[in-house]
Amino acid sequence: MDETAKATLEVAKQTFGKLIGGLEHVTWDNLPESVKEYMRAHPTLTAIQIIVVIIALVPGLIVAPALGAIGFGSMGPAAASAASGYQAAHGATAGFSFLQSAAMGGYGAAAVNGVVTGASAVAGGVAEWFKWRGGAAA
């Protein structure tokens, strides 16, 4: 079980170490024993918790790729994308304009990032609830 917990820590460090100051310097050996025990006992939940916290702190990791995947870009809707197809069929509705603004770093960015942060918090709460109930995330 130590190997799974160590692997979880290493993946988090490699993926997010540059985004969160100091994370790349954390080693398994300098973690408190209580943290090690928790990670050994709950490796899946630990991975979920790390992901939830990182998404809450840096929602742009999810927002920018998701908006880009459906065609909302920093220069406007991408040609031949879902976003441009929607715009051609329905025009620039309020929702469309809001998402495009978020992709361009405008007024919609804070709200969309807030929604993603809130969804991350809900996901973390659900994971904790499953742990409390003795469910799959334990």
Question: Domain of 101?
Answer: 62-138
Please give the pLDDT value at position 21. Answer: 67
User: pLDDT, tens digit, for every residue of 68-81?
Assistant: 999 999 999 999 99
Question: Does 14 reside within a domain?
Answer: no
Question: Does 39 reside within a domain?
Answer: no
C-alpha–C-alpha distance, residues 121 and 126, integer Å: 9
Please give the pLDDT value at position 19. Answer: 65
User: pLDDT, tens digit, for every residue of 85-115?
Assistant: 999 999 999 999 999 999 999 999 999 999 9
Question: Does 70 reside within a domain?
Answer: yes
User: pLDDT, tens digit, for every residue of 16-71?
Assistant: 766 666 777 777 888 888 888 888 888 888 888 888 888 888 888 889 999 999 99
Question: Does 1 reside within a domain?
Answer: no
3-state secondary structure of 73: strand
**What are the residues whose beta carbons fall under 8 Å from the beta carbon of 128, sequence distance 6 or more?**
45
Question: Does 29 reside within a domain?
Answer: no
Give the residue, 55 or 132, on which the prediction is more confident: 55
Question: Does 100 reside within a domain?
Answer: yes
Alpha helix segments (H runs only) across the chain:
2-16, 33-41, 43-57, 60-69, 82-90, 94-103, 107-133
| Per-residue pLDDT band at 128 (split at 50, 70, 90) | confident
Structural domain total, the chain: 1
Please give the pLDDT value at position 112. Answer: 93
Question: Does 124 reside within a domain?
Answer: yes
Q: Which tokens sit at 56?
A: 């809450």
Question: Does 77 reside within a domain?
Answer: yes
**What are the residues whose beta carbons fall under 8 Å from the beta carbon of 67, sequence distance 6 or more?**
73, 99, 102, 103, 112
